[in-house]
Amino acid sequence: MELTGIRIYPLKSAMGLSRESALVHPWGLEGDRRWAVVGEDGENLWLGEFSRMVSVRARDLAGGGLALSAPGLPDLTVPPATGPAVPVGFSGLDRAVAADEAAHAWFTRLLGCPARLVWLDDPRLRPVSARHGGLPGDVVSFAWDAPLLLTSAASLRRLDDWIAEGALERGEVPPQPLSVARFRPNVVVDGAEPYAEDGWAGVRIGEVDFRVSESCDRCAVTTIDPDTWVKGKEPLRTLARHRRWDGKTWFGVRLVPRNPGAIRVGDPVTPS
């Protein structure tokens, strides 16, 4: 089995960027989800509700700051965040640093509601919740419940087969295979049996060991086409048929690094 893909998300809920290699920190991959967009009350403006977020391309700049682009809006260069600490509503974290007013205005225009761009200046501040498999000392960026998310290419192929079978049963034309981007993974592996990851307690990728903190329950974000920003029924309809238990649907596993290091596409992957 080997590592076939690495993706980072400089801005939470925005477009993912493919990488050939990445540094692994205790809180996640270098450059992953240190920026987020929140509302006036500090709550995360969730991609499942604001699907246009996935149209945003965000790129970290040398020396800090962020380059932003999105269809229908002028490109924007955001300087390093030096604003006041403002309230945010992420679990385990109540403050983050505000970006400048131009960034707030850009996202307000994009989303059609008051919005603010914030920066997590110290990613060691936010613990991984014990409810999601966190242990004392585990920390996470603005990612949901763990530093990294792993998905399997073999599992996605099996899911695509199930979706095609269901379409034929309904007398419909089978859709094109789903993009892995719908599942917003940090690492994609191939070479295992479909859904073998369900049984892993840990995994080694290259020089880095990870603990599997939990399986990943899936939400409406996966139904958003990353190219059109339109919501559909898949893959939740099919996951509910084949991979539903405890009242949720499941795809992928969440990882906590056991040591820092670097990972690269092509690295061997060994589960435990």
Tens of pLDDT, residues 245-256: 999 999 999 999
The H-or-E segment that residue 143 falls in is none
The whole-number pLDDT of residue 13 equals: 97
* pLDDT (0 to 100) of residue 128: 97
How many other CB atoms sit within 10 Å of the CB of residue 80? 14
Quick one: what percent of the chain has pLDDT higher than 90? 99
Domains of the chain by residue range: 30-130, 145-271
Give the pLDDT confidence score for residue 174 in this predicted structure: 96
Mean residue pLDDT across the chain: 97
Q: How far apart are CA 97 and CA 118, in angstroms?
A: 5
Q: According to the model, what pLDDT value does residue 59 have?
A: 97
Mean of the pLDDT values across residues 201-209? 98
Q: How is residue 136 written in tokens?
A: 């004392």
Q: How confident is the model at residue 209 (pLDDT cuts 50, 70, 90)?
A: very high
- For domain 145-271, the question of CATH label 2.40.33.20 is answered with yes
Q: Determine the pLDDT at residue 7.
A: 98
Cis bond leading into 177, ω under 30°?
no
For residues 21-40, average pLDDT: 98
Mean pLDDT over 226-238 rounds to 95
The per-residue pLDDT for range 118-162, each reduced to its tens digit, is: 999 999 999 999 999 999 999 999 999 999 999 999 999 999 999
Question: What mean pLDDT do residues 194-204 have?
Answer: 98
Q: Which amino acid is at 147?
A: P
Token pair of 103 as six digits: 């960034």
DSSP count for the chain of H helices, then E strands: 3, 19
Q: Where are the alpha helices (DSSP H) in the chain?
A: 101-111, 153-169, 236-242
Give pLDDT tens digits for 41-97.
999 999 999 999 999 999 999 989 999 999 999 999 999 999 899 999 999 999 999
How many Å apart are CA 188 and CA 6, to the nearest integer? 7
